[in-house]
Amino acid sequence: MNIYGQTIDLVSIRINEKLGCISRETSKPCIFRVYAELRNENEKAYEPQIVTIGPYHRGKNNLQETEKHKLLYLKLLLQRRKELSVDRYVRAIGDLEKSARKCYAETINLSINDFVEMMILDGCFIIELLRKVRFKELRDMNPDDPVFQGDQVIIGIIHGLMLFENQLPFFILDVLFNMTKTQDPLDNISTLALDFLGSRLPRPKVSETNGISANNVNHLLHLVHSSWCYSFARNYPSNGNQEWSSEFIKSTAELRESSIKFKNAKESTSVLDIKFENGVMEIPPLMIEGHTECVLRNLIAYEQYYQDTKPRYFTDYTTLMDCLINSAKDAEILRHCGIINNWLGDDEAISTMFNKLGNNVSMSSVHFCYCDVVHNVNKHCRRRWTDENVEG
């Protein structure tokens, strides 16, 4: 055999070996890294500042202090339950290791032992934290806990738990939670998680599980997304699936010139619930503070990766708000109407945030949530323009 023939054989062997390593099992990952074009719009919005959860950001030098805290929380959990060993947790999570690993879109280069240890430490840290937030008596057991010494740490942890890349499979959290569950009826992981995360999210506050089953939740970000969208999705118009012509609406200042009024829909249970009727656009109030952009960006990133997430509620919401807020003047008008509660202190910053949220984000030509709103607003503007010309 000549050298060329040997090369072909070697290449064939290498490819066949690689093909043999590919599992025939089909798995559907639910935890991804944000794609580069979106990340480059605001890299900090996708990066943990205090705590890493899961493998993607594991081992970062500037976040090692929290790793010690995870061990402390596990120790406190065991002490409270009068357990001397983590054996039963290791066995339980060890049985789920393969399923958990498949939840990550990337190959995780950790040994089985390291992966299981990470799941236990991260998972127990989260569930112990959720209980400490809800039950004051647990905080009193460790009054020097640095997590509860100032709002900035708590805010940073909430920020971390809302990151798309910084997630654990929810079934891991659910198993660990149920293994340590108390008799208190309030000791429910979904309720505790939404109470904690909702305390710092843009208002209206997310706090209701709305009957969402833990079996249908991928991770904490998914839980928040599902809960936030639930009441709006129930009332989503059936004709919302019509083909969207990609028509947009004018800015707030321009719409006011067409006699459209803006009203604070303060009774709404969902920040998404924007309506237009009889010349009045009702928009639920939105509190905008330091982490608002981060929250919205990660909810949008989640929607970008799930083809079955249709409509893309937050993608559509920020698209409509981008149309309405084209300048600092538009933000100022909505602020005066009580629709925007601006904790950033700068109307220009609000405008800039919404104008950039849609960059490098894909939209569908169907399933646009606000198709009827846009259509009716433009119809109102055309009718008023026609009436004025006839009068003229």
| Residue 326, token pair as written in the block | 């084209």
So what's the pLDDT on residue 307? 61
So what's the pLDDT on residue 210? 66
Residue ranges of the chain whose pLDDT lies below 50: 22-26, 239-241, 390
294 and 157 part of one domain: no
Task: Name the domain count of the chain.
Answer: 2
Which of 195, 214, 232 terminates a domain? The answer is: 232
247 and 187 part of one domain: no
217 and 244 part of one domain: no
198 and 133 part of one domain: yes
Is 10 within a domain? no
So what's the pLDDT on residue 23? 44
How far apart (Å, rounded) are the C-alpha atoms in residues 196 and 325? 30
CA–centroid distance for 265 within its chain: 23
Kindly calculate the radius of gyration of the chain based on its CA atoms and give it in whole angstroms.
25
How far apart (Å, rounded) are the C-alpha atoms in residues 375 and 29? 37
For residue 277, the SS3 value is: strand
Nearest alpha carbon to residue 332 among 356, 348, 343: 348
Is 50 within a domain? yes
The answer to whether the CB of 316 falls within 8 A of the CB of 369 is yes
Which of 204, 232, 260 terminates a domain? The answer is: 232
Instruction: Check residue 104 and report its DSSP letter.
Output: B
**Contacts (Cβ under 8 Å, ≥6 apart) of 297:** 38, 41, 42, 45, 46, 357
224 and 246 part of one domain: no
The answer to whether the CB of 363 falls within 8 A of the CB of 315 is yes
So what's the pLDDT on residue 228? 84
Is 22 within a domain? no
Is 63 within a domain? yes
**Which contiguous run of DSSP H or E holds residue 380?**
helix 371-391
So what's the pLDDT on residue 227? 86
Is 256 within a domain? yes
350 and 329 part of one domain: yes
**CA-CA distances (angstroms) from residue 333 to 105, 145, 248, 320?**
43, 43, 19, 16
**Contacts (Cβ under 8 Å, ≥6 apart) of 337:** 262, 263, 264
Is 59 within a domain? yes
353 and 252 part of one domain: yes
The answer to whether the CB of 158 falls within 8 A of the CB of 199 is yes
**Which contiguous run of DSSP H or E holds residue 76?**
helix 64-80
324 and 179 part of one domain: no
How many C-beta atoms lie closer than 10 Å to residue 22's C-beta? 7
Which of 208, 232, 256 terminates a domain? The answer is: 232
So what's the pLDDT on residue 314? 93
For residue 225, the SS3 value is: helix
The answer to whether the CB of 206 falls within 8 A of the CB of 148 is no
225 and 241 part of one domain: no
- Strand 275-277: give its sheet, edge to edge: 261-264, 280-283, 275-277
Is 158 within a domain? yes
DSSP 87-133: HHHHHHHHHTHHHHHTTBSS-----HHHHHHHHHHHHHHHHHHHHHH
How far apart (Å, rounded) are the C-alpha atoms in residues 224 and 209? 9
Question: If phi over 0 gives left and psi between -120 and 50 gives alpha, with beta otherwise, what is residue 60?
Answer: beta
191 and 161 part of one domain: yes
Q: What is the pLDDT of residues 139-175, one digit of tens each?
A: 988 888 988 888 888 989 999 999 999 999 999 999 9
State which residues form the domain around 272: 237-391
Q: What is the pLDDT of residues 24-59, one digit of tens each?
A: 444 589 999 999 999 999 999 999 999 999 999 998
The answer to whether the CB of 175 falls within 8 A of the CB of 93 is yes
292 and 195 part of one domain: no
CA–centroid distance for 357 within its chain: 14
113 and 252 part of one domain: no
So what's the pLDDT on residue 340? 94
The answer to whether the CB of 320 falls within 8 A of the CB of 355 is no
Answer whether the bond into residue 204 is a cis peptide, omega within 30°: yes
Number of H helices, E strands in the chain: 17, 5
Is 20 within a domain? no
So what's the pLDDT on residue 203? 59
